[in-house]
Amino acid sequence: MANTQSMATSFLGELMTATHNFGASPIRAASTADTFKAALYLASATVNAATTVYSTTGEVTGTNYTAGGVTVTNATAPTSTNSSSTAGVGYWTPSASFVYTTVTLSTAFDAVLVYNSTQSNKAVSVHTFGSQTITAGTFTLTMPSNTTTTALLRLATT
């Protein structure tokens, strides 16, 4: 046997469940999963890696769309998988599509911000797609497969 320098792959998954704390942690009211939400943003907006928190600036507005977006269905906990003795990936994907029902969103939008509404609306990730408008219809955003290479959120070592 030989030892191999590496970050524990299990740690990657545990980061997504706040198992480890290297600094000042938020005060949690419960040990259950937080509530995450998904808000749509105009094509003219600026949401990106520098976005730290949900904001109504640049968010879509329209009939039957509620500011803040929809609640993310989270029925599958994050997991982690080794890809080698030195590498692995922790990953998570919402367990249902984001559905905005019977809305009218007349100004083009092309991004969704996933954020943590339990923890002061802190940003998680931004995902872009081809620009859309919706007229008295439904916008459905279906998630990628929850795998090590396609999951919506992936923390990987190489």
Partner 1 sequence: MIVTTTKGDMDDSLLEKREGTVDNENELTTWVEYWLGEELVHRSAHVTLKKMPNFAGGDTASF
Residues that bind partner 1 (CB under 8 A): 49, 102, 104, 125, 127-130, 132-144, 149-158
Least distance CB 30 / partner 1 (angstroms): 26
> Minimum distance from CB of 102 to partner 1 (Å)?
6
Give me the least distance between CB of 140 and partner 1, in Å please. Answer: 4
- The least CB distance from residue 28 to partner 1, in Å, is 23
Closer residue to partner 1 in complex, CB, 20/32: 20
Looking at the Cβ atoms of 8 and 129, the one nearer to partner 1 is: 129
Q: Which is nearer to partner 1, 31 or 38 (CB)?
A: 38
| CB closer to partner 1 out of 44 and 48 | 48
Angstrom CA distances, 14 to 19, 27, 68, 98, 130, stand at 5, 18, 27, 25, 33
Written as one string, the DSSP assignment of 72-104 is PP--S--EEEESSSS-EEEEE--SS-EEEEEEE
CA-wise closest residue to 87 among 25, 147, 7, 23: 7
Q: Are the beta carbons of 37 and 54 closer than 8 angstroms?
A: yes
Question: Measured from the CB atom, is 5 or 32 closer to partner 1?
Answer: 5
Tell me how far, at minimum, the Cβ of 54 lies from partner 1, in Å.
19
| Interacting residues of 39 by C-beta distance below 8 A, sequence separation 6+ | 54, 59, 67, 68, 69, 112, 113, 115
